[in-house]
Amino acid sequence: MSDASEVEVAIDVHGINKHFGENHVVKDLSLTVRRGEIFGFLGPNGSGKTTSIRMLCGLLTPDSGEGTCLGYDIIRETKQIKRHVGYMTQRFSFWEDLTIRENLRFVARMYSMIDARAKVEGALAQLGLTKHANQLAGTLSGGWKQRLALAACLLHEPQLLLLDEPTAGVDPKARRDFWEELHILAARGITVLVSTHYMDEAERCHKLGYILYGRLLVQGTAQEVIASQPLYTWAVSAGDLPTLAERLRALPAVEQVAAFGSTLHIIGSDEERLQRELAPVMAEAGRTWTRVKPGLEDVFIHLMRDVDEAPLTEIH
């Protein structure tokens, strides 16, 4: 086997399944993630995102399937994988009555780091925590707690970061700063798996996948995911949006009607039928209609409408 640092493909798994009792949580997951790539997992709560991430890095053992993470077998070589993984959970799990520096030094001792003090000071500087190093963790805002958690993940210089809803409850500026840091880490060759509910964050990923009821329905870049679904969208501006929305939702060809300020987006997957059914409404005076491109949120809602019939789509 090649040294883990020389592996160009960070994760390569096929046919991964996981059950908890009678609940089939992850179904035939196949995924390839390259070194230095940020891969985003999207999906509603309970869809299998966290379980998938934990299996990919050896924290959970699959019931079936095979694959490698950082060049190591995800079933037989989990100890080796864990040495190279940094895991950031959704809940803040550090000691609130210790300072930032004390928390990091405690984590460093857990890893038995020889140069623990230097590593801690380096992590503080890298994430802009030095000025706040003596502040109690319990007094930190959500954004600063997030930075502390990321600093702890990076202490042992992992090759793979696992981030489970890392920006939940964090203000927009802190979220943006956090993602800038992730791209810096990715540029250094660190692979990142992140689960998120935010569409703007999904668009910041190099690639993403949408999981529903344990099944990966679609994966690729944001542009590829959008292009994989035949959706057609019209935007209409009018003064009677609630009444108009109710009328439009009654049309068989209309799959989604979503309000964006003073505009409605009307979406369907059959272009000809959608155009035909909208034509009488478009002919009415007092409204402005514009053809627009669908977004990620439109695609994911479309996939949720009838998951049993939704095809498994993988984009290379």
Shared-domain flag, residues 151 and 242: no
End position of a domain, from candidates 178, 197, 226: 226
Shared-domain flag, residues 13 and 89: yes
Give the pLDDT score at 309. Answer: 45
Give the pLDDT score at 312. Answer: 43
Q: What are phi and psi of 277, to 5 degrees?
A: -75, -30
Give the pLDDT score at 92. Answer: 67
Q: What is the distance between the alpha carbons of residues 122 and 118, in angstroms, rounded to a whole number?
A: 6
Residue 308 domain-assigned (yes or no): no
Shared-domain flag, residues 193 and 260: no
Shared-domain flag, residues 51 and 147: yes
Residue 309 domain-assigned (yes or no): no
Which of helix, strand or coil describes residue 159?
A: coil
Residue 162 domain-assigned (yes or no): yes
Convert the pLDDT of each residue in 82-131 to its tens digit.
889 998 877 667 898 999 999 999 999 888 888 889 999 999 998 889 99
Q: Which of 254, 227, 255 is nearest to 313 (CA)?
A: 227
End position of a domain, from candidates 196, 226, 256: 226
Residue 314 domain-assigned (yes or no): no
Residue 192 domain-assigned (yes or no): yes
Shared-domain flag, residues 243 and 112: no
Give the pLDDT score at 314. Answer: 42
Which CATH number characterizes residue 260's domain?
Answer: 3.30.70.920
Shared-domain flag, residues 248 and 152: no
Residue 188 domain-assigned (yes or no): yes
Shared-domain flag, residues 279 and 174: no
Shared-domain flag, residues 59 and 143: yes
End position of a domain, from candidates 226, 249, 265: 226
Shared-domain flag, residues 176 and 47: yes
Enclosing domain of residue 106: 4-226
Assign 304 a pLDDT band (cuts: 50, 70, 90). confident
Convert the pLDDT of each residue in 199-241 to its tens digit.
888 899 999 999 988 999 999 999 999 999 999 999 999 888 8
Shared-domain flag, residues 235 and 214: no
Convert the pLDDT of each residue in 135-188 to its tens digit.
999 998 888 888 899 999 999 889 999 998 888 777 888 888 889 999 999 999
Structure tokens at 195: 């689960």
Domain count, the chain: 2
Which CATH number characterizes residue 219's domain?
Answer: 3.40.50.300
Residue 213 domain-assigned (yes or no): yes
Shared-domain flag, residues 13 and 160: yes
Q: Is 273 exposed, middle or buried (0-12, 13-18, 19+ CB in 10 A)?
A: middle
Residue 299 domain-assigned (yes or no): no
Q: Which of 273, 276, 278, 294 is nearest to 229 (CA)?
A: 294
Q: Which of 47, 1, 54, 41 is nearest to 27 (CA)?
A: 47
Shared-domain flag, residues 122 and 267: no
